[in-house]
Homo-oligomer: A and B are copies of this chain.
């Protein structure tokens, strides 16, 4: 029913190849012919069939975008930026949600592979080796994970976590908790690594809780354990967890930041809206989305270019952090000792 290239050809009295060239290689056709063809096309409402084009050129002008959880407010700005950037280049974006599940993620990559020119893998939960394997089938750009040999875009969350810990130890906190993210997360490992370093440098002790689901609920669930452990400040894997944690702490009767300080990571819109306003590490999600699309598309034909982009993060100090406890009245050491094994146990788990 819709007009095809043949209809336009017939109407404008030229061969279909000329019509084709009018669209895909305008400089090869006589200006007069071109305007005539364009007029007919316009009048017939002709739009090239992308499936047919894809069939022969092998390029679909689509890109896939796989995220762990669309409902996590960290992702929408990234998706939005990627979509807009892609659209500017006449690309469209398939968005898929892996539900934080590595197996689903793999399925999605495989399913999408045939109908896209490349895939943006955001905060993947798969193993590196699987990702490398899949990248042989379809161009991949990995966001929020460093993998040598593949193009990647990461937020320098290690730097950010370091700043956060420095901030806390600077406020006098000597026992700091880290609420880890989900199991497969590279970011979570990075944060832990960097936080541990910074804690040591600042003369503080770091206790790790997790892994946990990276949601508000995941944060709330660990609140009691955090409180029992006797830490006076906590860095959470992301804002959502930090917010959940604060809720949980309030529910347990603790005050933030008077009794315990909390720092998040991401700086989602939400973190300015809760009470207390969240101190957090701002990550440039939109910039990452744009960079990833650029990288995928620049990439072009020469597959083996493996660029790496590392985006700066920034500590945003708001109201959820305050001075550490008075050194003479701090928590019962027995309690503290009890907490240590937990930390070790969860450390070993991942």
Which of B60, B87, B99 interacts with A51 by CB under 8 Å? B60
CB neighbours of A96 from chain B (8 A): 83, 87, 92-93
CB neighbours of A76 from chain B (8 A): 70-71, 73, 75-76
Q: How far is the CB of A120 from chain B (nearest CB, A)?
A: 13
Does B93 contact A95, Cβ atoms closer than 8 Å? yes
CB neighbours of A111 from chain B (8 A): 47, 92
Chain A, 126-156, contact with B by CB distance < 8 Å: what is the 0/1 string?
0000000000010000000000000000000
Does B55 contact A84, Cβ atoms closer than 8 Å? no
CB neighbours of A243 from chain B (8 A): 273
As for how many copies of this chain the complex holds, the number is 2
Which A residues have a C-beta under 8 Å from some C-beta of B? 2, 45, 47-52, 54-55, 60, 62, 69-71, 73, 75-77, 79-80, 83-84, 87, 92-97, 99, 110-115, 137, 216, 243, 247, 269-270, 273-275
Separation of A62 and B96 alpha carbons in the complex (Å): 12
Does B79 contact A2, Cβ atoms closer than 8 Å? no
Q: How far is the CB of A46 from chain B (nearest CB, A)?
A: 10
Q: Given that A94-B93, A112-B92 are contacting pairs, would A70 and B83 also be in contact in the complex, using a CB cutoff of 8 Å?
A: yes
Separation of A83 and B104 alpha carbons in the complex (Å): 13
CB neighbours of A54 from chain B (8 A): 51
- Can you list 5 A-B pairs with a CB-CB distance of less than 8 A? A2-B137, A48-B114, A51-B54, A55-B55, A70-B80
Separation of A112 and B50 alpha carbons in the complex (Å): 10
Does B115 contact A92, Cβ atoms closer than 8 Å? yes
The residue of chain B having its C-beta at the shortest distance from the C-beta of A276 within the complex is B275
Q: How far is the CB of A109 from chain B (nearest CB, A)?
A: 11
Does B94 contact A94, Cβ atoms closer than 8 Å? yes
CB neighbours of A99 from chain B (8 A): 84
Q: How far is the CB of A79 from chain B (nearest CB, A)?
A: 6
Separation of A274 and B83 alpha carbons in the complex (Å): 30
CB neighbours of A114 from chain B (8 A): 2, 47-51
CB neighbours of A48 from chain B (8 A): 114
Q: How far is the CB of A92 from chain B (nearest CB, A)?
A: 5
Extra inter-chain contacts (4) besides given A49-B55, A62-B115, A76-B76, CB under 8 Å: A2-B137, A51-B54, A55-B55, A71-B77
Separation of A237 and B80 alpha carbons in the complex (Å): 23
Does A113 contact B47, Cβ atoms closer than 8 Å? yes
CB neighbours of A55 from chain B (8 A): 49, 51-52, 55
Does B95 contact A79, Cβ atoms closer than 8 Å? yes
Q: How far is the CB of A279 from chain B (nearest CB, A)?
A: 16
